[in-house]
Amino acid sequence: MSEKNIGDSMASKGGKTAAANMTPQERRDRAKKAAEGRWAKNAPYATHVGELDIAGNRIACAVLEDGRRVLSQNSFVQAIGRTGSVKTAARSEDGDFFKTPPFLTAENLKPFVDKHLSTSSSEPIIYRTTVGSVGYGYEANLLPVVCRIFLDARRAKKLNKKQKHIADACELLLTGLANLGIDALVDEATGFQYVRTRDALQRLLEQYVSRELARWERTFEMDFYRHLYRLKGWQFNPSSSRRTPQVAKLTVDLTYDRIHPDLLKELKQMRSEGGKPNSKLHQWLTTGPTGGHPRLKQHLEGVVALMSVAKDWAQFKDWVDRRYPPYGKTMRIPFPDFEDDLPDEMQS
């Protein structure tokens, strides 16, 4: 046997001996550490880190090198009123990630999870922090989605006693988020806003717009139109899919015009060049985790979240203009008395 083989054999025996002398918990910790090493090898770096303050909650956040905004798992869980170890909340005992966060696996939440999580990623994200350690997080856009799940469940009277305080925390968070989009908050907290350039916008546009027509799939859910009609004081007919030109104009204003300054123009041009005048604009968006279609769905989640808590159109328009300001339009200046009409949780 060669010296190398002898050394490998001795190391293997030594590892087995050490494992045999460990407690079950120590063996689990060892397995998790090994798994972390494998995951971290190809994990993206956090280029910017910071901390949010939403409704009195301090939430650690980061922007990754691939552009994703993430909130730390520990901060995320604490912000919605959950307690316990972040590792327990993130992974099973053998070190594998849960596909759905444990705080959303309760059977009574399933109908609401199925409704809202179809448009957002709920899988934990592993990344390397600015100091080289391993970090765990959730995509920032998951936070308002989780809040809506618990608030919908509360409205339907499906929460148990142990979940009611989570819904209360979610209500405060969602109201606090009405001022600004979660991505904008992360960019401000981490300093990433200062490195965004016109070139970055152009790359983003290229990432969002496809040169091929995608098959149609429902993108604008009924809740969007139901709340739109409610806030405008119009009669809503859920059995009809016909929308007036005024509704179409409002839809464009609330979505494409607020995602990218040139997105609407580019989508219309692509539709014209593709010779498909009757196709929907969203069919010319790219798919994939960071594509234009998922971005539109995430944006709609945020808009509908604001709609669901707004009392009337004026209040909603005020909130959405501050959270998702439209490109190329002058916004009003927030004078000292500007916040007087806001709920207490939103006032600074």
Whether residues 261 and 337 fall in one domain:
yes
Instruction: Tell me: pLDDT of 337 over 60.
Output: no
- Structure-block tokens of residue 166: 């989570």
User: pLDDT class for 40, splitting at 50, 70, 90?
Assistant: low
Per residue in 233-266, pLDDT (tens digit) is: 999 888 877 788 899 899 989 998 888 888 888 8
Q: In the chain, how many domains are there? A: 2
- pTM here is 0.50
Q: Are residues 288 and 263 in the same domain?
A: yes
Of 247 and 5, more confident: 247
Place of tokens 């922090």: 129
Same domain, 203 and 341: yes
Determine the Cα–Cα distance for residues 347 and 3; give it in Å rounded to an integer: 71
**50: in domain:** yes
Contacts of 38 (CB under 8 A, 6+ apart): none
Residue 97, token pair as written in the block: 């990630």
Domain C-terminal end among 134, 162, 192: 192
Q: Could you give the residue ranges of the DSSP H alpha helices within 41-81?
A: 73-79
Domain presence at residue 32: no
The residues, ordered by sequence, that sit 6+ positions from 86 with a Cβ below 8 Å of its Cβ are 72, 73, 74, 77, 136
pLDDT in the model for residue 82: 81
The residue out of 162, 192, 222 marking a domain boundary is 192
pLDDT above 70 for 89: no
Share of the chain above pLDDT 70, in %: 73
Domain span at residue 133 reads 46-192
Q: Which amino acid is at 267?
A: L
192-235 pLDDT, tens digit each: 766 655 556 666 667 777 777 777 777 788 889 999 999 999 99
pLDDT-derived band at 41 (thresholds 50, 70, 90) equals: low
**Does 71 have pLDDT greater than 80?**
yes
Based on the domain organization, do 167 and 286 belong to the same domain? no
Instruction: Give the residue-averaged pLDDT of 295-324.
Output: 89
Burial class (CB in 10 A: 0-12, 13-18, 19+), 90: buried
Examine the fold and report which residue of 192, 226, 260 is the final residue of a domain before the chain moves on: 192
Residues 51 and 183 in one domain: yes
**pLDDT bracket for residue 330 (50, 70, 90):** very low
